[in-house]
Every structure is written in structure tokens, then in C-alpha cells.
Amino acid sequence: MKSKARLMQGNEACVEGAIAAGMRFFAGYPITPSTEIAEFSAEKLPLVGGRFIQMEDEIASMAAIIGASLAGVKSMTATSGPGFSLKQENIGYAALAEVPCVIVDVQRSGPSTGLPTSPAQGDIMQARWGTHGDHPIIALTPSSVRETFDLTIKAFNLSEKYRVPVILLMDEIIGHMRERVELPDISEIEIINRKKPAVSREEYLPYKADDDLIPPMACYGEGYRFHVTGLAHDETGFPTNNPAVADKLYRRIVDKIEFHKDEIVEWEEQNTDDADIIIISVGGVARAADTAMKQLREKGIKVGTYRPITVWPFPDKRLVELADRVKAFVVAEMNLGQMVLEVERIIKDKAKLIKVNKVNGEAIYPEEIMEKIEEVL
């Protein structure tokens, strides 16, 4: 049998994963370094009966995928930092109206137009707090081409399950990198679809949550004739100014993620058992961290790695445990210190915290992490 192994780009793996997850609508706007996601979607979607549209701008792309999702079709858009900023108002809409959708942000160097073809991780905080008001969000950070495929599927699954916008937070390194992958058989992939109402139109309350804090979701055209708004609303879905009802709504949509955090969070750790120092990093930087760890171990320095796969919600419980027994954490990121703020909040002063930051448009090299570790030892 011929091997299924092939060379694949991260951005292409994202589209393969999305289609495997059931994406049948993509709306986007060209922006480096995410453009290949739009291009592959345009090529592949009509082949499976899906539809692609290049909208007039980033705002419209985000709006279109929310509309399509309400009509019952799994939808995605992809962008980079500047476009991600433009999408933020409607991402908030999706969070409040609880519309499943996936937003890919292939991070590039910024702010503003920055260095469009160069990698960065400057949107860690934008992914969490980019839209206004308190809102739920999930953000996933792949660090290989194969993981981009897997996490795109996971993004759709989480989005459908929790009725929440999910950000696939890539970076230029992973998006543009090509590497050897073997994709799984479609039959081996777990697909989650949104919970549908079990009641008739007359009894259906679109925003009445079950015990899991998630309301079942009808879609347009099914005869439920329901209303969706970005205004604060009651269980019927209609606007309200009642402070108690608004308070309950805002708390529920945030709590529904908090409540399921243990099921949602994912991370990978290596050699943490005996580690004196643990490198924390995501995406493309995690690849440098792996090399740094291996080379330092060869020198007898006990280094481990901790890689959040869900950067939001941040996998904090395990980090607290690790903080009790390591001497130091090294947080390496292609920004001037964003994820480190979350780490600092979690570990308090239980362990020393060392920062490795780079914003010049180049990847963080293993040597830069190694030097910093050797410096503090």
C-alpha cells in the first residue's frame, strides 16, 4: 500500500480539518499570511457541495459566517491581526447570540500593517479580550501541520458543543510551514454537532439553557420562527432592559465555558517530572522550545516543556501543581510579554519567571531560549 504521507502546508491542513469537521461555508477576505486558507477553501468547498464567498471586507466575512451558522451550516473565516481587529465587533455578537463559528487568525508581526510576511504571536490578548464587554471565548494554538488539522476539527466541535466562537490562533510559522503529515481516516474522526431543540415551535425558548448552561439551537428555515439579537435578551430571545435578566445572561454565557473548563482545556508537557526549569510556549515557538529542551538535557540541565493547546481558557490547574516543584518557568513568545501575564497570575511568586520575547519578525531560535536558561542557572 502506498503511504498516505504527504507534504502539507499548515494553512492547507486547516482547510482539510475544517472540511472533515463539516465546514460547508467559508467567507473571507485576502490577508497575508492567512490567504491560502481562503484559496484552499474556494477550491475545495464546491467539491463537497459547500460554498465559498470572498466578501467585501473582514467585517462582512465575520457577519456572513454568523448568518450561515444560524441557517444551520458550519462556517469559518480566516484572517490575520489587522483583519482580526476588524472582526471583533461581530465576534462579540457571536458570543452573545451564542452562534457557533470558527475564526482563524494566522498571526503576523504588528501592530498596524507591521511585517505582513513575518511571524508573531501578538494577538494572544486580542484573542481573549478583543471584543468589548465580558464574553466567553476559546482559543486553540497548533504547533504542527498535523495538529492544525486536528485542532481545526476540535475548534468546530467545541464551537458546536458550547455555542461559542472559537479562535484557531495560528502563527505565520505554522501557517506557512510545510511538513510531512499523515491524515487520519475520516471514519476515525469524532464530530460534534450542535444540540437541537426537542420541543415544538410553541414551546421553544431559544435562550433557555439546559443544566449544562447551553441552550438547544434551532436553525432558520426549520419552522421555529425565532428571533436572534445582539441586544441583551431573555430566554425568549427578545430584548430586555431588566437588570436581573441581563445579569443572568452575561453570567451564564461566561459560566458555560468556565463550568466546562476541565473538559475544554488541553496542554502537552514533556519531561516535567524531574524538571528544574520548564519552558512555556505555544505554536511555532514550541518547536524551538523542544529543540532547546533536548539540547540542554544533553548538557545535563533538567528542562521540561509545557505547551498550552487551549491558550484560552488557559490550562492553569496543572501549572499551579508544577509551580510547586520547579525552580523557574521560561515563557517564550513572539511578542513583548502577553501569555506571561497569565502565567504570572497563575503561579504568583511560587517560582522564578523568565521572559524570552522577540518582535522583530523573526522566529525565536532555540539558542535564544538556551542562552537565557544558561544565564539564570
Partner 1 sequence: MGKYEIRLSGSGGQGLITGGIILAEAAILDGKNAVQTQSYGPEARGGASKAEVIISTDKIDFPKVRDCDIFLSLTQKSFDQYGKNVKENGIIIVDESIDTRNENKVIYSLPIIDTAYNVLGKPMVLNIVALGVIAAITNVVSRNALEEAVLNRVPKGTEELNKKALEMGYSIGKNAIK
Partner 2 sequence: MPSEIVNKYFRTNKLPQIWCPGCGHGIITRAITVAIDKLGLDRDKICIVSGIGCSSRAPGYMDFDTLHTTHGRALAFATGIKMANPELKVIVITGDGDATAIGGNHLIHACRRNIDITTIIYNNNIYGMTGGQYSPTTPKFDKGTTVPYGNVDKAFDIPALAIAAGATYVGRSTAYHTQLLISLIENGIKNEGFSLIEAISVCPTYYGRKNKKGSAVEMLEWQKEHAVNIAAASKMTPESLDGKFLIGEFKNSPEPEYTREYQKIIDRLKKE
Closer by beta carbon to partner 2, 228 or else 288 = 228
Radius of gyration of the chain measured on its C-alpha atoms: 21
Among 221, 250, 219, smallest CA distance to 233 is for 250
* Placement of cell 523568565 in the chain: 354
Residue 226: contacted member of partner 1, partner 2, none (CB under 5 to 8 Å, by partner type): partner 2
3-state class of 8 per DSSP? strand
- 279 touches partner 1 by CB under 8 A: no
Closer by beta carbon to partner 2, 90 or else 159 = 90
**Interface of this chain with partner 2, residues 296 to 325, rule: CB under 8 A:** none
**CA distance linking residue 70 with residue 74, whole number of Å:** 9
Near partner 1 by CB under 8 A: residue from 51, 178, 195, 318:
178
**CA distance linking residue 106 with residue 39, whole number of Å:** 14
* Placement of cell 462579540 in the chain: 92
- Residues β-bridged to residue 44: none
Residue 89: contacted member of partner 2, partner 1, none (CB under 5 to 8 Å, by partner type): partner 2
**CA distance linking residue 286 with residue 36, whole number of Å:** 23
Handedness of CA 3, 6, 10, 11 (dihedral sign): negative
Residues 78-107 vs partner 2: string with x where CB under 8 A?
-----------xx--x--------------
Taking CB under 8 A as the binding criterion, the range among 72-80, 287-295, 325-333, 347-355 that sits at the site for partner 1 is: 287-295
3-state class of 23 per DSSP? coil
**Interface of this chain with partner 2, residues 27 to 56, rule: CB under 8 A:** 27, 46-47, 49, 51, 53, 55-56
Let me know: does 163 contact 213? Beta carbons within 8 Å.
no
Least distance to partner 1, CB of residue 318, Å:
22
- 124 touches partner 1 by CB under 8 A: no
Among 227, 228, 219, smallest CA distance to 73 is for 219
Taking CB under 8 A as the binding criterion, the range among 9-17, 69-77, 243-251, 323-331 that sits at the site for partner 2 is: 69-77
Near partner 1 by CB under 8 A: residue from 57, 71, 117, 348:
117
Among 365, 367, 265, smallest CA distance to 319 is for 265
Closer by beta carbon to partner 1, 3 or else 187 = 3
Residues 217-246 vs partner 2: string with x where CB under 8 A?
---xxxxxxxxxxxx------xx-------
Among 339, 259, 354, smallest CA distance to 307 is for 339
**DSSP per position, 291-315:** HHHHHHHHTT--EEEEEESEEES--
Near partner 1 by CB under 8 A: residue from 19, 173, 217, 359:
173
**CA distance linking residue 293 with residue 289, whole number of Å:** 6
In which element (H, E) is residue 153 found? helix 145-162
Residue 291: contacted member of partner 1, partner 2, none (CB under 5 to 8 Å, by partner type): partner 1
Residue 290: contacted member of partner 2, partner 1, none (CB under 5 to 8 Å, by partner type): partner 1
Q: Which stretches of the chain bind partner 1, using CB under 8 A?
A: 3, 5-7, 116-117, 173, 176-180, 284, 287-288, 290-291, 294, 363, 365-367
Q: Which stretches of the chain bind partner 2, using CB under 8 A?
A: 24-25, 27, 46-47, 49, 51, 53, 55-57, 59-61, 63-73, 75, 89-90, 93, 220-231, 238-239
